[in-house]
Structure 1
């Protein structure tokens, strides 16, 4: 088949790779001048099944409401007239029960574990590298109270297949010598040994180059999607700034813009943009930086070691499609980073970035056929898109091929 994929982020590029490997003739349409220039450009760098807990929960509901008035929190809500945000929020609130938290987290974990294996298989099969480190990730807490309450979700994930180790501060510093200077400020944490880190932009750039050269995937960069040409129950072509692209099937993987396109054609796709901030900084003294990825759960900041660089990531801000940022947006992030790794970096050398995560109310991506018999979705991966992208791409390729997926499809196949 001729298949058109909309979007060359990590999700769209992974889908294109698997579809082309199945023998399809694949064209990828991307509005930026290169792959991975949107959401995939600069995330936290964590490939983290350990972060599979869904956002919507009774505790998240309280934090969400506090974010309406306290903008010093990691979660910030900017009130504005936005009917779509209101509708999304109501759906989010309906997911904030213990039962829905557990069910959604199980689905995320299943896909995240599978996807981690897919990422590693792609790397082995293609030979591409992306500053990857396979040393695990530490999720740590600064107080005994937050440790006691915060480990509940990790224990639940462990019951459903995630290997973890609950660690005290001594064991934590043994695993991560970079945190020795703040040992007394940390109560303990959770070590997920199968988690890993890597630069998603490097991964996408290298995978796109491989797919183009070895599998014949055609990438149309600097090309915008204007509309879908629909006749009856199928999409005839994608109308773009470069002209119509006809084919047998279309896959929407446009990150936060997926919802905008889908709603134009009556597709129930509640993807909402959630803004995050990252700083990528060369390490002045590599011995003072982390050796693996981590997350300061009390300060709501994640970090990863990417070669000789440190990536800091923080904040979930509900502010529509605003991608702007200013130096003050990174102040708390730098303060926390310097507290954890004193002397490791000079913040004046940081590359600052802000991007939008495509969040679903239940934190579960949407994959599968949508309304029209040849239109498919692979989007809505939220804050763990880098983690789940390759697994969802392979899952989608199986659905399109009519094969039985390698993992249980319950809760993953789109039912809109």
Structure 2
């Protein structure tokens, strides 16, 4: 089949790779001038099944309300008239029961574990590299109270297949010597040995180059999707800024814009943009930086070691499609980095970035056929798109081919 994939982020590029591997004629349409220039350009760098806990929980409403007035929190809510945000929020609140938290987290974990294996298989099969490190990730807490409360979700994930080790501060510093200087500020944490790190932008660009060279995937960069030409129950072509492109099937992987396109054609796709911020800084003294990925759970900051660079990420800001930022938005990230890794970097050399995560109310992505016979979705991966992208792509390729997926599809396929 001739399949059009809309979006060349890590999710769309992974889908294109698997579809082309099945022998399909695949074209990717991307509004930027290269792959991974949107949400996939910069993130915490964590490939983290350990971060599979859904955002919606019984405690989320309190945090959400605090984010209205306390903008020092990792959660920020900018009040504005946005009916779509209001509708999304109501659906989010319906997911905030303990039962839904557990169910959504199980689905995310299932896909995340599978996707981690898919990432590693792609790297082995293609030879591509992306500043990867396979040393695990530490999720740590600064107070005994937050440690006692925070480990509950990790213990639940462990019951459903995630290997973890609950560690005290001595063991934590043994695992990560880079945190020795702040040992007394940390109560303990959770070590997930199968988690790993890597640069999603490098991965995506290298995978796109491989798919183009070895599998014949065509990438139409600098091309905007303007609409779909639908006849009956099928999409005939995609209307773009470069003209119409005929197809046998379409995959929507447009990140936060997926919901905007879907709504125009009657597809119930509640994807909402949630802004995140990252700082990437060269390490002046690599011995003082981290050796693996980590997350400061009290300050809601994730970080990773990408070659000789430190990547730090924070904040979930509900502010629509605004991608702007100012230097002051990164104060908490930089101050936390200096606190954790004193002397490791020169903050004046930081490269700042902000992008939009495509968030579903349930925190679970949606994959598969939607409303029209030849229209597929692979979107809504939220804050763990890098983690779940490759597993989603392989899962989607199985659905398109009519094969039984390698993992249980329950909770992942489109039901709108």
Deviation at 1:61, TM superposition (A): 1.8
Deviation at 1:65, TM superposition (A): 1.1
Deviation at 1:60, TM superposition (A): 1.7
The CA deviation at 1:149 is 0.3
Distance 2:80 2:241 in 1: 32
| TM-score, scaled to structure 2 | 1.00
Counterpart residue number, 2:200: 200
- Deviation of 1:115 after TM superposition, in Å, equals 0.1
Secondary structure of 2:69's counterpart equals: coil
**What is the aligned partner in structure 1 of residue 262 from structure 2?**
262
Task: Give me the whole-angstrom Cα distance separating, in 2, the residues matched to 1:282 and 1:67.
Answer: 31
- TM-score normalised by structure 1 residue count: 1.00
Q: Structure 2 CA distance, aligned partners of 1:22 and 1:381?
A: 23
Aligned counterparts of 2:366 and 2:12: Cα–Cα separation in 1: 13
Q: CA deviation at 1:144?
A: 0.2
Query: Deviation of residue 295 (structure 1)?
Result: 0.1
Q: 1:31 maps to what in 2?
A: 31
CA distance in 1, matches of 2:96, 2:65: 12
CA distance in 2 between partners of 1:24 and 1:61 (Å)? 45
Provide the C-alpha distance between the structure 2 equivalents of 1:46 and 1:245, rounded to a whole number of angstroms.
36
Offset, 1:414: 0.9
CA distance, structure 1, for counterparts of residue 280 and residue 51 of structure 2: 21
Q: CA RMSD in A?
A: 0.3
SS in 2 for 1:26: strand
Once the two structures are TM-superposed, the CA of residue 62 in structure 1 deviates from its matched residue by 1.1
Q: Which runs of 5+ in 2 are unaligned?
A: none
Runs of 4+ aligned structure 1 residues displaced above 3 Å come to none
Give unmatched runs, 5+ long, in structure 1.
none
State the Cα distance separating 1:69 from its structure 2 match.
1.1
Q: Distance in 1 between matches of 2:58 and 2:227?
A: 39
Q: Which residue of 2 aligns with 1:321?
A: 321
Q: Secondary structure at the match of 1:108?
A: helix
Q: CA deviation at 1:102?
A: 0.1
Give the aligned partner of residue 97 of structure 1.
97
Look up the SS of the partner of 2:190 in the other structure.
Answer: strand
Q: Secondary structure at the match of 2:100?
A: helix
Q: CA deviation at 1:42?
A: 0.2
Partner of 1:181: 181
Q: Aligned with 1:62: secondary structure?
A: helix
Question: SS at the partner of 2:68?
Answer: coil
Instruction: Give the structure 2 partner of residue 332 of structure 1.
Output: 332
How far did residue 2 of structure 1 move?
Answer: 0.3
Cα distance in 1 for partners of 2:274, 2:211 equals 30
Aligned counterparts of 2:379 and 2:2: Cα–Cα separation in 1: 20
406-415 or 188-197: bigger deviation: 406-415
Q: Once the two structures are superposed, what CA deviation does each residue of 1:124-155 show, in whole Å capped at 9, x if it has no partner?
A: 00000000000000000000000000000000
1:177-218: CA deviation from partner (whole Å, max 9, x where unpaired): 000000000000000000000000000000000000000000
Say which is worse superposed, 1-10 or 66-75, in terms of deviation. Answer: 66-75
1:326, distance to aligned residue in structure 2 (A): 0.3
Match of 2:230 in 1: 230
Q: How far has the Cα of 1:27 moved from its partner?
A: 0.2
Tell me the SS of whatever aligns to 1:372.
coil
Q: Deviations over 1:362-402 (max 9, x none)?
A: 00000000010000000000000000000000000000000
Task: Identify the residue that residue 111 of structure 1 maps to in structure 2.
Answer: 111
3-state secondary structure, aligned to 2:103: helix
Hey, what's the Cα distance between the residues in 2 that align with 1:82 and 1:352?
Answer: 27
Report the CA distance between 1:22 and its aligned residue.
0.1
SS at match of 2:162: coil
